[in-house]
Homo-oligomer: A and B are copies of this chain.
Amino acid sequence: MYNQIAGKRLPRIEALSDGVFSIAMTFLVFNLKDPLAATPATEEALLGALWSIAPNISSFFLSFMTLGIFWTGHSTQFDYLERSDRNLYWLNLFFLMFVALLPFTTSILGGHIDNKVAVILYWLNILALGLALLLHWNYAYRKKLLALDETNAMQVHKAIRQRIIYAQAFYGLGAALCFVHPFLSLVVIFAIQLNYAFGIFSRK
């Protein structure tokens, strides 16, 4: 009986998700530490210190965009959701688990930006986010938890699925480039994200 009555409150899962996203986004700032904290420093020394944490600052922006992209995707799915059940709750919670993990994989990346292991770990986090989001949509679609009329349904379903699959294919390619050079990999992943943020090369 409990499993039938649990997990039906759609606004709550959305509120929790916005909470986890906004916290994970703001947590990224913790990877930015003043290397000269509490030490008197000349202007040159402070500029140098800021320059020395450039990899951390770059990965702050990279991860903020990552979270922004997945948050937009999550928000789009909820625009169609009409009902929920406890399985959907849990698929969403697994998705949020990997949202909450991103500040950690970001800190590893910021600290070891030329290290293949760090790039692959970061990519695995992105992959987990994509898979969880895809499972979440597929489940909602299959269980008819969506508010979609017949004519529209297939089109929206395909658009959402393809977006996730294409993006993950690009991310996978980007990550594979780390075997050429870790830095190249990050540049390509960043370019993919800029494309998705600004919607430049996407089919309208």
Contact = CB atoms under 8 A, between A and B. Distances in A.
Given A21-B19, A112-B36, A47 B6 contact: no
Contacts of A43: 115-117
Copies of this chain assembled into the complex: 4
Interface string A7-39: 111001111111111111111111010101111
Identify whether the interface residues of A are mostly helix, strand, loop, or mixed.
helix
B100 A156 contact: no
A143 to B, nearest CB: 14
B15 A18 contact: yes
Size range of the interface on A? Answer: 35 or more
A196 B79 CA distance: 28
A180 interface: no
Contact of A111 (B18, B21, B38, B203): B38
A36 B72 contact: no
A121 interface: yes
Contact of A27 (B26, B41, B202, B203): B26
A170 interface: no
Contacts of A112: 36, 40-41, 46
